[in-house]
Amino acid sequence: MTYRDSTIGVTTVEDGSSLFHGIDDWRTSTFENPKATINVGTSFSGIGAIEHAFQRLNLNHEILFAGDIDKFVKQSYFANYEIGHRHWHSDIHDLSAKKFNQKIDLLVGGSPCQAFSMVGKRLGLEDTRGTLFYEFARLVNESKPKVFIYENVRGLTNHDGGRTWQVVKDVFHDLGYKIHFDLLNSKDYGIPQHRERIFVVGFLDHDVSFNFPQPVELERTMQDFLEDYTESKYYLREKGIKFVTSTKNRLKRYTQINGAVALCQKANQQFNWHGDFVFDDRELKTDFDEFVFDVSEVEEKYYLSPKVSKYVLAGGTKNFKTSTETDLAVARPLLQSMHKMHRAGVDNYVTHRYGRIRKLTPRECLRLMGFRDTFKIDVSDTQMYRQAGNSIVVDVLIAILKQMDITKFGR
């Protein structure tokens, strides 16, 4: 079993030796069997990071089961993915995966970290009963997926002096899987957020060769993911653009674009496409790496009042000091408690519109977790902040799926 220090690109074997391997750019790799269908099972599913990853990759997949205990998460999930209610479990304890034995190609989940009793225990699968990790391991054991991905917070690796992490590895090994694990940071995979998580990838076939995807240079900042505050009503849709830019229309000088001298203003110009127009090089949609953002206004409710701004930007007290830095290029880790107002050293705040401070919008938080604007927000802001903060970063999952070529495990 190996892990890789993502800061230096070195693969380290557990006996302490090191293996250097060449840089492989997973971004340009192609899928061996792009028409394959991948059967997916998830638990502790949240808002469906792996499901959204498959959507972004445009890969055929079928969700055989998914679930989460939070009813608001279920609401978001059903608003965005096609899954029948009979395939959803609200309590993982009630799900038996035996009927999915050898039908699951990929199982994904990440249970909350819990301590295991260490006194007089063999520390196998049976000895982790009563923990949520046991429930995920039980699903692995019952369904025998070809591949599983287990994600958790960085603290799992040193929890209880490292003993909890050792149990996790031993259990997966005892279930018959060859595992690889690594600490991955989303800022190394295209998302400007400092978010470190431990990923365990297990293969039922021990002959499968796998290295975690190499980090890539971060080309965007948090500011690239912010919503624009120019109201979308001032932008022409496709039909209007075709009319304004048509040769026939411009020859008749009904309209002009970026004219040095304005045409005669019309009383009804807000209702038609005659008059003066300017070209905005931001475009109605900003599209990079398939990341499509709608231009929209940031609502007033996200701006901080003078009283709250004063608190947010306070450097702390005698016993507590914090950073007052805002407008970061790489965001601080998004929290499931973002609906609350933390100090600037904890949360992310931006200066927008005439120097006013505001918090990130739920849509911006989703973007910083790798969710495209096609993801429907069907819950309150409070719930959406929680759900975004609890999710796995989609881009990291995409890197892993491309690196292993998930289509080789499809059918």
Which one from 53, 66, 113, 200 is the annotated catalytic residue? 113
Residue pair 221/330 in contact by the 8 Å Cβ criterion: yes
- Count CA atoms within 13 Å of residue 107 on its CB side: 28
Q: Which phi and psi (to 5°) does residue 285 adopt?
A: -125, 135
| Pairwise CA distance, residues 198 & 156, whole Å | 8
264 included as an active-site residue = no
- Residue 183: exposure state from Cβ atoms within 10 A (0-12, 13-18, ≥19): middle
- The Cα–Cα gap between 184 and 157 comes to 13
Whole-angstrom Cα distance, residue 104 to residue 90? 20
> Are 130 and 93 contacting, i.e. CB atoms less than 8 angstroms apart?
no
**E strands, 49-155, where?**
60-67, 88-89, 106-109, 147-153
Distance CA 2, CA 10 (A): 10
Dist CA 56 CA 372 (whole Å): 8
The H or E element spanning position 55 is helix 49-57
- Just list the catalytic residues: 113
